[in-house]
């Protein structure tokens, strides 16, 4: 019978300060692929686990630029190239008339790309997550705090990681099967 591959090793803590301290120690110990779960946002936790990159603003900017160019070029192509109609002696390329649609498509594309980018970068939708295999993880939405070290971390070693997590004085340590 094949052993079940591990998703990682999870430690449970009683207070948010214990979790932040444990996350800082894990990050300083060289673990790069770690995550934390809590029933409410904790100030300083993102920095403690080493989370720094947020690509959603870049995705939103690119979506807005694409939307603005789409709106402007679509109007230019229609009014000056595909279906030129002289209305009141205005030139075919009357850029002030293009501004409202350009602005609206910029906002539309930026908003849609922000939502889709956020979902994609967060790996959502994810109806199943391996941490739900740990029975004690049900308390993550009530009053417990969890720190996980992923098995894909270059420094991960089952025994060494368990020993490290035990030195953090958690309430419990669990192996998370995939």
Split into its structural domains, the chain has a count of 2
Shared-domain flag, residues 85 and 133: no
What pLDDT does 14 receive? 93
What pLDDT does 2 receive? 60
* Contact by Cβ (8 Å): 35, 150: yes
CATH value at residue 167: 3.30.70
Helix, strand or coil for residue 124? coil
What pLDDT does 19 receive? 96
Can you tell me which residue has the tokens 């403690």? 48
Q: What is the DSSP letter of 69?
A: H
Residue 133 included in any domain: yes
Residue 42 included in any domain: yes
Low-confidence ranges of the chain (pLDDT < 70): 1-4
Shared-domain flag, residues 60 and 117: yes
What pLDDT does 1 receive? 56
Residue 114 included in any domain: yes
Alpha-carbon distance of 138 to 124, in angstroms, equals 20
Residue 104: domain span: 56-121
What pLDDT does 90 receive? 85
Residue 1 included in any domain: no
What pLDDT does 18 receive? 96
Residue 117 included in any domain: yes
Shared-domain flag, residues 138 and 107: no
Q: What tens digit of pLDDT does each residue of 143-165 get?
A: 999 999 999 999 999 999 999 99
What pLDDT does 178 receive? 86
Which segments of the chain are extended strands (E)? 6-13, 34-37, 145-150, 172-177
Q: Look at residues 98, 121, 144 and tell me which one is the last residue of a structural domain.
A: 121
Q: Which two tokens stand for residue 141?
A: 């939405």
Shared-domain flag, residues 132 and 110: no
Q: What tens digit of pLDDT does each residue of 83-110 get?
A: 998 888 888 998 999 999 999 999 999 9
């Amino acid at each position: 019978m094949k052993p079940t591959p591990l998703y990682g090793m999870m430690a449970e803590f009683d207070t948010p300060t214990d979790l932040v301290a444990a996350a800082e120690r894990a990050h300083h110990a060289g673990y790069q692929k770690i995550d934390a779960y809590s029933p409410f946002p904790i100030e300083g936790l993102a920095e403690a686990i080493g989370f720094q990159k947020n690509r959603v603003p870049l995705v939103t900017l690119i979506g807005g630029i694409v939307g603005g160019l789409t709106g402007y070029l679509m109007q230019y192509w229609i009014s000056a190239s595909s279906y030129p109609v002289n209305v009141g002696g205005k030139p075919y390329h009357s850029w002030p008339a293009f501004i409202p649609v350009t602005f609206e498509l910029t906002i539309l594309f930026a908003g849609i790309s922000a939502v889709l980018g956020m979902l994609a970068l967060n790996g959502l939708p994810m109806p199943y997550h391996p941490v739900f295999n740990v029975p004690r993880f049900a308390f993550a939405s009530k009053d417990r705090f969890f720190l996980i070290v992923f098995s894909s971390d270059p420094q991960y070693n089952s025994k060494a990681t368990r020993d490290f997590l035990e030195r953090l004085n958690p309430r419990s340590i669990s192996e998370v099967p995939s």
